[in-house]
Structure 1
């Protein structure tokens, strides 16, 4: 028997999934949550084999929740359930410890397949997710610090504000800005801000 917990801030999606899975004899839904904090507590209380979690949720997003779950309960398998198929979103969930990633517009049969696959200690990534190679070649060139700064630029932060947040000097931020622009072949402050906003991946 595979025990399952579902986290999604739209109750209708939870209800639809529960209705579809209720007749599957090898799967038992042990709880549901509508925010990340509730999900973490649910896992602590019920210790499910598999968790399906949205990425964008109140209080604690799916990435942070996955990281917390995998740290305390590494045997629990996590499947991301998302509208986002961007490279960065998939990579962040994988880095947090997710074993699977499925899209919200996928069929419920795909959801069922993903649950059974990850329960066997394997990985499952939705066929509708584009291959990594061509999604964002330029983003791969950036260092962790450069991605961090790019994300803050996308949040509308100035160089001084970024420096304060990251506890570095403004000139270092300006240097990183120049390096980012060179790597992704962007010219001009306005173009960099536009690019950063498009790449913000607001989970």
Structure 2
């Protein structure tokens, strides 16, 4: 189980993520904070696996909070959550010890994927302005569902055929394909089908 704390000074954003994540069996939101000092306190109390924190918060910003948390709890993975896509902000959060950086206008599916990625030891940085994904371990992070879809793409199945095999909507398959196509841009411009064929046996 991934235990999660969310720090954000706009309660509506916290409520939105709580509503979205409540049906995920592998993630439990154990607490939330509206300022940096409250975040540090709650992490000390609950020792979550993952923290999502805004960068600009009252009393203590996300960069200082991240440095403090990582110094005391190096195994806690931190994802920056911000309206800013400036390289400086990303660099400061990386230097502070963050494992991820996502935009506030990212899809909730991206938030979910980032949580799972960092909990498994990957980094997950998204520059929304350029639609770029960066991952660590010299490997792209794919969810289990995406791995299933990649394998079926490699087998030559269409989106509708994949949907039928996995008992999901075709639109869901199309959404996964779009997300995966964005990710593989980090290793050069290549067609998703070609990528799937090259990795055909990696996810068996």
TM value normalised by structure 1: 0.63
1:12 aligns with 2:26: no
Q: Which residue of 2 aligns with 1:43?
A: 43
Gaps of 5+ in 2: 133-204
The residue matched to 2:71 in structure 1 has which SS?
helix
Quote the Cα distance in structure 2 between the aligned partners of 1:109 and 1:81.
14
The residue matched to 2:85 in structure 1 has which SS?
coil
Quote the Cα distance in structure 2 between the aligned partners of 1:18 and 1:37.
21
TM value normalised by structure 2: 0.63
Q: Which residue of 1 aligns with 2:24?
A: 24
The residue matched to 1:81 in structure 2 has which SS?
strand
Quote the Cα distance in structure 2 between the aligned partners of 1:110 and 1:82.
14
Q: Which residue of 1 aligns with 2:119?
A: 119
Q: How many residues align?
A: 132
Quote the Cα distance in structure 2 between the aligned partners of 1:33 and 1:56.
13
Q: Which residue of 1 aligns with 2:176?
A: none
Is the CA contact 1:77–1:98 (under 8 Å) kept in the aligned structure 2?
Answer: yes
Give the CA deviation at 1:131: 8.7
Q: Which residue of 1 aligns with 2:147?
A: none
Is the CA contact 2:84–2:103 (under 8 Å) kept in the aligned structure 1?
Answer: yes
Give the CA deviation at 1:126: 1.4
Q: Which residue of 2 aligns with 1:162?
A: none
Quote the Cα distance in structure 2 between the aligned partners of 1:129 and 1:69.
28
1:99 aligns with 2:127: no
The residue matched to 1:6 in structure 2 has which SS?
strand
Q: Which residue of 2 aligns with 1:69?
A: 69
Quote the Cα distance in structure 2 between the aligned partners of 1:27 and 1:131.
26
The correspondence of residues 1-203 of structure 1 with structure 2, limited to 5 A, is 1-130=1-130
Quote the Cα distance in structure 2 between the aligned partners of 1:69 and 1:130.
30
Is the CA contact 2:50–2:119 (under 8 Å) kept in the aligned structure 1?
Answer: yes
Quote the Cα distance in structure 1 between the aligned partners of 2:39 and 2:61.
10
State the Cα deviation string for residues 100-155 of structure 1 (Å, max 9, x = none). Answer: 000000000000000000000110011525499xxxxxxxxxxxxxxxxxxxxxxx
RCO higher in structure (CA 8 A, sep ≥6): 1
Give the CA deviation at 1:70: 0.2
Q: Which runs of 4+ in 1 moved over 2 A?
A: 129-132
Give the CA deviation at 1:61: 0.1
The residue matched to 2:56 in structure 1 has which SS?
coil
Is the CA contact 2:101–2:124 (under 8 Å) kept in the aligned structure 1?
Answer: yes
Q: Which has the larger radius of gyration?
A: 1
